[in-house]
Chains A and B, each alone.
Chain A
Amino acid sequence: MGLFILRRLGVMILTAICLTFIVFFLTNLHPNLEKLAKTQGEMRMSDEQVDRWLANRGYDQPLPIKYGEWLGVWPSKIIEVDDGRAYGRCLQTGVSIADTPRFCGVIQGDWGFSTVFKDEVSSIVATRLSLTGKLMFWVMMLMIPSALLIGVLAGMREGSRTDRSLSTVSIITTATPEYVSGVIFIALFAASASPLNQWLASMDWIEGRTLFKGTATSAMENANFNNFFLPVLTISLYGMGYIARMTRASMAEVMTAQYIRTARLKGVSFPKIVVKHALRNALIAPFTVIMLQIPWLLNGVVIVETLFNYKGFGWVLVQAAGNNDIELLLGVSVVSVIVVLITQLISDIGYVYLNPRISVS
C-alpha cells in the first residue's frame, strides 16, 4: 500500500510538472506576452515599448530557462535598467542585489508575484481557496445528505411512484447546468421585479426588497442564509442528481440481495431493514462518486462565483486567465491538479478498502 501511494505521488508530481509546463508554454506565447505588457504598462504602448517592457522584465529569455526559474532549478536573472531600477523574481525591497538569493522558485517555496493583483501568488491562492472552501463546505452539507436521501428513498422500492418521480427530479437537476439554474433562481428570488418578491414585500413578510440576495459579495466576510443560499443551492443541484442516481442504483441492487430477502421473510419491518441492513452496503458506491465529483464541481464553482460575484478560487482563475497573469495561473493550475489527483487517490484507496474483491498491485 505504501508503495502504491508513493508511486501515485510520483505520477502526481510528474503530471503537475507537465501540466504547468503546458500552461507556461501557452501563457508565454508572444501574443500573450504582448497582452500582458499592454495591460500592465499602458494600453496604447507602441511595439518598441512593448519589447523593451518585456526585455526589462526578463520575458524575452528562452522558455526552458524561464520555466527553470519559476521551478527554482535555474538561477534567476536580475536585470538592471538604465534608470537605476532592477527587475528579477528574487528581488525584495530592502535587500541589496548582492544579498539576493540566486534561486527562488516553487522548490524554494516562492510561488511568484501576481501581475494583476500585485501580491504574492501564495497569499492570493490561500485567501481565495479558503473562501471557495467555505462555499464548498456548505455545498457538501446541502448536496450529500439530500442526494443520499433522494437516492435511498428512490431505490428502496424500485419502480414505485416515489421512485419514478424522484428519479425524474434527479435527471432534471443533472440536465440543468449552473448557468441556467442560477439565472432562474436570481430572476425568481433575488430580483425585486419578480412577482414572488413583490408579493412577499406587499405582505410584509420580508425585510428588504427581495427574499434572497442576488450577490454573494458580502458573504465573503459574513455569510448568512440570505446572501449565501442561492450560490450554494445552484452548485448543489447540478451535482446532486448524479449522486442521487448512483445511490438509487446501488440501493436498488442491495434491496434485491439475498440477505435482505431473508430478513424480509423473517418478518423484519421494512424501515428497519432499510436502516439497519441495506443502507450501509448501499452507500459504498456513492462514496467514490462523491470523491470524483469534487474536481468536477470546480467548473460549477467558476460559473457560480462569476454569476454571484463571490471572489473565490474560480474567480481568481477567470481573472488570471483573462489577464494572462502567468505566475498566478501556474499557481492556480498546480492547486487544481493537486485537488483532482488527491481526490482520485482517495477514491481509489477508499474503493479498495470498501470493496475486498479488488486488490492494489
Chain B
Amino acid sequence: MEPLSWGGIFAGMFVQLIPVWIALIVTFTVSIYYKRKLGLYGKLFDSTIGMIGFALVMFWVFVAALGSMDMILTHDPLGQVSGMKNKLPGTPLRGAQDGDYAHYLLGGDNLARDIFSRVMSGATIVILIAPLATLFAYMVGITLGLPAGYFGGKFDTLLSFVANLVLAFPVILLFYLLVTPEIVNTGLPQYMAIVLFFFPLIFFSVLINTRLKQQPQKNVIWLCAVLIPLAVMYVVTINAPSTKIDILGSLDFFNPAAGILVVFVSVVFVNSPTVFRIVRGLTLDIKQRDYVAAAQTRGEGPWYIMLWEILPNARGPLIVDFCLRIGYTTILLGTLGFFGLGLPPESPDWGSTINDGRKLLSIYLHPALPPAFALLSLVLGLNLLADGLREESLRD
C-alpha cells in the first residue's frame, strides 16, 4: 500500500472527524437561531472572536466526548504495532487486517503507537480534568471567598494569609512535594481530597437551604436530590483500595486511575487561593451596593445575601476568569506531564506526549508537534472565548 500524501492525510482526518463537524454545525445553528433567548451565552454569537474561541473549544469538547465513545479513533492509543516506530505521517499500517484502519494518519511515535489516536484520546483526559478541576477550585474559592469578603475580620485575615501562603509557593516546588510516590504513599493527597472535595457539598447545601428555608418540604426534597448523589460520589472518590483510606472495601465502585486523583487534588489546591482572592475582592466591592443594603434591611440572612445577591452579580468577571483558568489548568497539567509528575505513564495526555516527543525532536518532528498544536489551539480557544465573553458582558 502507498503512503498517503499530505492531502490524503488531511482528507483522512477530515473524514475521521465527521461526527465532530456535524456536532459543531448543529450546535452553532441552534445557538445562533435562538441567540436572543440565551442570555450571555447567546450574546457570544455577536462577537467574531468569541465565536472562533467557542468553536475551537467545542471542537475539542466534541472530540473528547465522541472519542471516548470510540467514534473518532483509528487505532488503540496504547497499542503498539511492530514496524511502525517513528514512522512518518501517512505510513500504511504494517500487517493491516480487515477492519483495521489502513494508515497511521499522523505517523507513529517512539513506541509505534498511532499519534492521531493518541492526540484525540488525549483530549478526553484534558477536557475531563481541566474544567472539572477548575470547577472544584471555584467551589472552594467561592465557599471561602464570599464569607471572607462579606464578614471580614479575623476570619478574613486568617484565610487571606493562608491563601497568600499557598500562592507564595512556587507551583513546581509544590507539585514536586505533593506528587512524588513517597508522599502519595503516605496518603497526604487523599487527606487533602477529603477536605477539598467536601466544599461542593457545603456549597450546594447552603445554596439550597438559604433559598428554600421557608418551604421545609421542598427544601428537604431538593437537599436530598442533590446531596445524596454528591455524597456518594464524594465517598467513593476519596476511597481507594489498598491505601490509607479504604473503609468501603468492595462497595467502592469508582476508582479514578492511579495518579489522576493526586494530580486533580494538586491542581485544585493550587487554583483555589486565586479564585478565593478574586471572589473576596468582588464581594468587598459588591457588598457596598444598594441592593445588598436593601436585602439587609429586608432581614435576609448573610448567607442568602452572599449566595443569591452578591454571587449572581459577580458572575461576569467570574465566568471570564473561569474560561481563562481552564486554559491555565490545561497548561499546568501539561507542565506536570513535562516533568513526568503525576499522570499515569503511557497516558496520551498532551503534556506527557509533548515531553516524550521532544526527546527525539532533532530527528523526528512529527510525534511532538500534533499534541503541541492541540494544546495550543485549546488554550487559544479558551482565551478567545474569554475575550469574547468579556467584551459582551461589558456591554450590559
Contact = CB atoms under 8 A, between A and B. Distances in A.
A pairs with B: yes
Interface of A: 11, 14-15, 18-19, 23, 26-27, 29-32, 34-35, 171-172, 174-177, 179-180, 183-184, 186-187, 191-194, 214, 295, 298-299, 302-303, 306-307, 314, 317-318, 321-322, 324, 329, 332-333, 336-337, 340-341
A36 to B, nearest CB: 10
B351 interface: yes
A125 B379 CA distance: 35
Interface in B44-64: none
A130 B368 CA distance: 33
Contacts of A333: 169-170, 173
Contacts of A172: 376, 380
Given A23-B177, A180-B354, A35 B182 contact: yes
B338 to A, nearest CB: 5
A235 B319 CA distance: 28
B361 interface: yes
Contacts of A193: 362-363
A177 B387 contact: no
Contact of B183 (A32, A176, A341): A32
B272 interface: no
Instruction: Say whether chain A's binding surface is mostly helix, strand, loop, or mixed.
Output: helix
Interface string B169-181: 1111100111010
A117 to B, nearest CB: 17
A101 to B, nearest CB: 31
Nearest to A177: B331
B168 interface: yes
B168 A184 contact: no
8 contacts: A26-B183, A31-B186, A175-B383, A184-B369, A186-B358, A314-B172, A329-B173, A336-B169
Contacts of B365: 187, 194
Q: 6 closest A-B pairs (Cβ-Cβ)?
A: A321-B176, A31-B182, A175-B379, A191-B362, A175-B380, A177-B331
B161 A299 contact: no
A184 B370 CA distance: 11
A284 to B, nearest CB: 19
Given A177-B331, A322-B176, A19 B169 contact: yes
Contacts of A177: 331, 334-335, 375, 379
Contact of B168 (A186, A299, A337): A337
B22 interface: no
B376 A180 contact: yes
B251 to A, nearest CB: 29
B29 to A, nearest CB: 26
Residue of A19, A177, A298 with most partner-chain B CB within 10 A: A177
A176 B382 CA distance: 12
Contacts of B310: none
Nearest to A306: B339
Given A31-B183, A172-B380, A303 B338 contact: yes
A172 to B, nearest CB: 6
Residue of A179, A186, A191, A317 with most partner-chain B CB within 10 A: A179
A299 B332 CA distance: 10
B164 A187 contact: no
A337 B301 CA distance: 39
A23 B361 CA distance: 36
A17 to B, nearest CB: 10
Contacts of A183: 354, 357-358, 361, 368, 372
Nearest to A333: B173
A194 B335 CA distance: 25
A194 B363 CA distance: 8
B283 interface: no
B327 interface: yes
B172 A317 contact: yes
A26 B372 CA distance: 33
Contact of B167 (A34, A324, A332, A340): A340
A299 B172 contact: yes
B384 interface: yes
Contact of A18 (B165, B339, B354, B380): B165
Nearest to B157: A11
B243 interface: no
Given A187-B365, A333-B173, A179 B354 contact: yes
Interface in B364-396: 365, 368-369, 372, 375-376, 379-380, 382-384, 387
A287 to B, nearest CB: 20
Given A321-B177, A322-B176, A174 B354 contact: no
A302 B362 contact: no
Given A11-B161, A32-B182, A318 B176 contact: yes
Contacts of B334: 177, 179-180
Given A15-B165, A187-B365, 6 more contacts: A171-B380, A179-B354, A184-B369, A302-B170, A302-B172, A332-B173
